[in-house]
Amino acid sequence: MTTTPAPAGVLRTAYQKAVADYWNNEKDPVNLRLGDVDGLYHHHYGIGDYDPSVLEGPQETRDERIIAELHRLESAQADVLLDHLGPIAPGRRLLDAGCGRGGTSIMANARFGCQVDGISISQSQVDFAGGQAAKRGVDDKVRYHFANMLDTGFPTGAFQGIWNNESTMYVDLFELFAEHARQLAYGGRYVTITGCYNDVTGGRSKAVSRIDEHYTCNIHPRSAYFKAMAANGLVPINVVDLTAATIPYWELRAQSSLATGVEDPFLTAYREGSFHYLLIAADRV
Ligand code: GPP
Ligand code: MG
């Protein structure tokens, strides 16, 4: 294990250090081989139906076909997230909170032409993402920073849009949305895609606990998102249940050589209704 020493103040707790260590050391083919398809490296899941023909055909190229298809579904997920930011003028600025290896930030810059800042508490992810932006020649507009999403150091009101693409399960939502509300301009848009547990079925199911254990995260109940938004001037404009749309991704992933073992808990949790894949878009008032 290699650990990059952190500048004082970014990693504040033993938990944050443990999360940073996990991502500094993560080199899973399920993320790297998918990213290699077109240089967009994602740390989120996919949506939409897969093409069943990828499971047929020559055995030697089966993996390649599945990888390309999983990657297509992950990029489709990022496109749906960006759709919910609404129109963003090229002179505006966006924040990708918990940017991973940077794929969604690159897509946002390609779509809107604006400056995008991605932040992560993993120095390895920040370095990797920065290398990709340089490779694409967009590093004048897409910048990645080693920073804590709960206290970024960015100026107040600087951003027209902020998103968390599957990164809210590592932080307290009240603290997170207070910081987002501070950084968003009036009328700015916040979007998250997240996995949350179902208040209606009760507490954290066994399958949800297994997902938490796998990633060292702490999945929140659905209700927590709306309480924390309401407390911080974030008014939901769209809530989209993406659960049915993400199940095919997990079904395909479970049949691939890249399966990591977390496929079963996701499929169980979604099918039994104890867990949702949710998009929430909200305006800053
Ligand atoms: C990781 O994506 C995503 C998370 C750790 C957040 C957990 C998400 C929930 C919806 C609960 P990844 O692409 O790094 O994971 P994997 O390696 O499994 O593909
Ligand atoms: Mg992945």
Q: Measured from the CB, is residue 31 less than 6 Å from ligand 1?
A: yes
Rounded to the nearest 5°, which phi and psi values hold at 187?
85, 0
Annotated domain spans of the chain: 14-284
Radius of gyration of the chain (CA): 18
Which pLDDT band holds residue 8 (cuts at 50, 70, 90)? Answer: low
Burial class (CB in 10 A: 0-12, 13-18, 19+), 200: exposed
Q: Looking at the predicted structure, is the pLDDT value of residue 218 above 80?
A: yes
pLDDT in tens, 178-198: 999 999 999 999 999 999 999
Q: Which CATH architecture has domain 14-284?
A: 3-Layer(aba) Sandwich (3.40)
Residue 41: per-residue pLDDT: 98
Q: Looking at the predicted structure, is the pLDDT value of residue 76 above 70?
A: yes
Q: Looking at the predicted structure, is the pLDDT value of residue 4 above 90?
A: no
pLDDT in tens, 50-68: 999 999 999 999 999 999 9
- Distance from the CA of 43 to the center of ligand 2, in angstroms? 5
- Distance from the CA of 42 to the center of ligand 2, in angstroms? 6
Instruction: Share the mean pLDDT of the chain.
Output: 96
- Distance from the CA of 177 to the center of ligand 1, in angstroms? 21
Query: Mind giving me the DSSP string for 141-206?
Result: TEEEEE-BTTB--PPTT-EEEEEEES-GGGS-HHHHHHHHHHHEEEEEEEEEEEEEE-TTT-S--H
Residue 3: per-residue pLDDT: 53
Among protein residues, the one whose CA lies closest to atom 8 of ligand 1: 166
Q: Looking at the predicted structure, is the pLDDT value of residue 5 above 80?
A: no
Atom of ligand 1 nearest to the CA of 215: 5
